[in-house]
A and B are shown apart, each in its own frame.
Chain A
Amino acid sequence: MFYQSRLRSITLILALGFLAAYASFGSYFAREIVIEITILAILAISLDFCAGFGGMVSLCHGAIMGISAYAFTIMSVKLGLPSVPSAMIGLMAAVVFSGLVGWVTARTSGIFFIMATLAFGQMAYTFFFKSRWLGGDDGMGGIDRFDLSWLGVDMNDALVFALFGIAVLLLVYVIAAILLRSGFGRILSGIHSNENRMQAVGINTANHKAIAMAASGLMAGIAGILAAQHTLYISPELLIWTVSGEVLLVVILGGIGTLIGPVVGAIMLVMLKHELSNYTDYWHMIVGMVLIFAVLAGGRGIFGQIEYWLITRHPPKAPHLPPAKEKDLA
Chain B
Amino acid sequence: MDASFWLLQFLNAMQYSMLLFLLSIGLTVIFGLMHFVNLAHASLYMLGAYFGISVSALTGQFWLAFILSPIIVTLIGAILYFTLIDRMRAAGPMNQVLVTFGLIFVILDLVRLGWGDIALGLDAPDALAHTVSFWGISYPAYRLFIIALGLTIMISMWVVLARTQIGAMIRASVENADMAASLGIHVGRLFFVVFCFGCALAGLAGVAAAPIFSATTTMGITILIPTLIVVVIGGLGSLEGAIAGSLIIGFLETFGAVLLPSLSAVLTYILLAVILVLRPQGLIPARG
A and B together in one complex: yes
Is there a chain A Cβ closer than 8 Å to B247's Cβ?
A: no
Q: Cβ of B98: which chain A residues have Cβ within 8 Å of it?
A: 248-249, 252, 291, 295
Shortest Cβ distance from A151 into chain B, in angstroms?
A: 42
Shortest Cβ distance from B286 into chain A, in angstroms?
A: 14
Is there a chain A Cβ closer than 8 Å to B105's Cβ?
A: yes
Is the beta-carbon distance between A292 and B266 smaller than 8 angstroms?
no
Shortest Cβ distance from A55 into chain B, in angstroms?
A: 9
- The complex places the Cα of A328 from the Cα of B90 at a distance, in Å, of 10
Closest-by-CB residue of A relative to B112 is A282
Is the beta-carbon distance between B266 and A296 smaller than 8 angstroms?
no
Best-surrounded residue of B35, B84, B232, B276 (most CB of chain A within 10 A): B276
- The complex places the Cα of A296 from the Cα of B109 at a distance, in Å, of 21
Q: Cβ of B84: which chain A residues have Cβ within 8 Å of it?
A: 292, 296
- The complex places the Cα of A129 from the Cα of B222 at a distance, in Å, of 14
- The complex places the Cα of A245 from the Cα of B103 at a distance, in Å, of 12
Closest-by-CB residue of B relative to A55 is B94
Is there a chain B Cβ closer than 8 Å to A194's Cβ?
A: no
Shortest Cβ distance from A54 into chain B, in angstroms?
A: 13
Q: Cβ of A252: which chain B residues have Cβ within 8 Å of it?
A: 98
Q: Cβ of A291: which chain B residues have Cβ within 8 Å of it?
A: 98-99, 101-102, 105
Given known contacts A112-B276, A118-B228, A119-B269, is B102 in contact with A289 (CB within 8 Å)?
A: yes
Q: Cβ of B265: which chain A residues have Cβ within 8 Å of it?
A: 126-127, 129-130
Is the beta-carbon distance between B105 and A285 smaller than 8 angstroms?
yes
Is there a chain B Cβ closer than 8 Å to A110's Cβ?
A: yes
Q: Cβ of B91: which chain A residues have Cβ within 8 Å of it?
A: 295, 299
Q: Cβ of A285: which chain B residues have Cβ within 8 Å of it?
A: 105-106, 108-110
Q: Cβ of A288: which chain B residues have Cβ within 8 Å of it?
A: 101-106, 109
Shortest Cβ distance from B283 into chain A, in angstroms?
A: 14
Closest-by-CB residue of B relative to A115 is B232
Is there a chain A Cβ closer than 8 Å to B93's Cβ?
A: yes
Q: Cβ of B104: which chain A residues have Cβ within 8 Å of it?
A: 288
Best-surrounded residue of A51, A126, A327 (most CB of chain B within 10 A): A126
Closest-by-CB residue of A relative to B262 is A130
Which of the residues A111, A241, A289, A328 comes within 8 Å of B37, measured between beta carbons?
A: A111
Is the beta-carbon distance between A108 and B266 smaller than 8 angstroms?
no
Q: Cβ of B93: which chain A residues have Cβ within 8 Å of it?
A: 57, 110-111, 114, 329-330
Is there a chain A Cβ closer than 8 Å to B97's Cβ?
A: yes
Is there a chain B Cβ closer than 8 Å to A77's Cβ?
A: no
Is the beta-carbon distance between B92 and A330 smaller than 8 angstroms?
yes
Q: Which of B107-125 contact A (CB under 8 A)?
A: 108-110, 112-113
Is there a chain A Cβ closer than 8 Å to B212's Cβ?
A: no
Main secondary structure of the interface of A (DSSP, over half): helix
- The complex places the Cα of A116 from the Cα of B271 at a distance, in Å, of 11
Which of the residues A51, A119, A129, A292 comes within 8 Å of B272, measured between beta carbons?
A: A119
Is there a chain B Cβ closer than 8 Å to A232's Cβ?
A: no
Is there a chain B Cβ closer than 8 Å to A179's Cβ?
A: no
Is there a chain A Cβ closer than 8 Å to B152's Cβ?
A: no
Is there a chain B Cβ closer than 8 Å to A287's Cβ?
A: yes
Q: Which of A287-330 contact B (CB under 8 A)?
A: 287-292, 295-296, 299, 326-330
Is the beta-carbon distance between B95 and A326 smaller than 8 angstroms?
yes
Q: Cβ of A24: which chain B residues have Cβ within 8 Å of it?
A: none
Shortest Cβ distance from A156 into chain B, in angstroms?
A: 35
Shortest Cβ distance from A37 into chain B, in angstroms?
A: 20
Is the beta-carbon distance between B102 and A292 smaller than 8 angstroms?
yes
Is the beta-carbon distance between B225 and A241 smaller than 8 angstroms?
yes
- The complex places the Cα of A120 from the Cα of B229 at a distance, in Å, of 11
- The complex places the Cα of A328 from the Cα of B266 at a distance, in Å, of 33
Chain B 225-249 near chain A by CB (<8 Å), digits 1 or 0? 1001100100010000000000000
Q: Cβ of A295: which chain B residues have Cβ within 8 Å of it?
A: 88, 91, 95, 98-99, 102
Is there a chain B Cβ closer than 8 Å to A11's Cβ?
A: no
- The complex places the Cα of A123 from the Cα of B91 at a distance, in Å, of 29
Q: Cβ of B280: which chain A residues have Cβ within 8 Å of it?
A: 107-108, 112
Shortest Cβ distance from A60 into chain B, in angstroms?
A: 11
Shortest Cβ distance from A66 into chain B, in angstroms?
A: 15
Given known contacts A111-B93, A285-B110, A288-B106, is B266 in contact with A123 (CB within 8 Å)?
A: yes
Is the beta-carbon distance between A299 and B106 smaller than 8 angstroms?
no
Is the beta-carbon distance between B225 and A296 smaller than 8 angstroms?
no
Is the beta-carbon distance between B266 and A126 smaller than 8 angstroms?
yes
Is the beta-carbon distance between B92 and A282 smaller than 8 angstroms?
no
- The complex places the Cα of A289 from the Cα of B84 at a distance, in Å, of 12
Is the beta-carbon distance between B106 and A292 smaller than 8 angstroms?
yes
Shortest Cβ distance from A85 into chain B, in angstroms?
A: 28
Is there a chain A Cβ closer than 8 Å to B270's Cβ?
A: yes
Is there a chain A Cβ closer than 8 Å to B87's Cβ?
A: yes
Given known contacts A288-B106, A291-B102, is B225 in contact with A104 (CB within 8 Å)?
A: no
- Chosen A-B contacts, 30 in total, with CB atoms closer than 8 Å, are A104-B277, A108-B276, A108-B280, A110-B93, A111-B93, A111-B97, A111-B236, A112-B276, A114-B93, A115-B232, A116-B232, A116-B276, A119-B276, A122-B225, A122-B269, A126-B265, A248-B101, A282-B109, A285-B110, A287-B102, A287-B105, A289-B102, A291-B101, A291-B105, A292-B84, A292-B102, A295-B88, A295-B95, A326-B95, A330-B35
Given contacts A282-B109, A290-B102, could you give 13 more A-B pairs where the C-beta distance is less than 8 Å? A112-B280, A115-B228, A119-B272, A119-B276, A248-B101, A249-B101, A249-B102, A285-B105, A289-B106, A291-B105, A295-B99, A326-B92, A326-B95
- A-B complex: 6 closest residue pairs judged by Cβ atoms: A288-B105, A123-B269, A285-B109, A291-B102, A288-B102, A292-B102
> Hey, which bits of chain B sit against chain A, CB under 8 A?
31, 35, 37, 84, 87-88, 91-95, 97-99, 101-106, 108-110, 112-113, 221, 225, 228-229, 232, 236, 262, 265-266, 269-270, 272-273, 276-277, 280
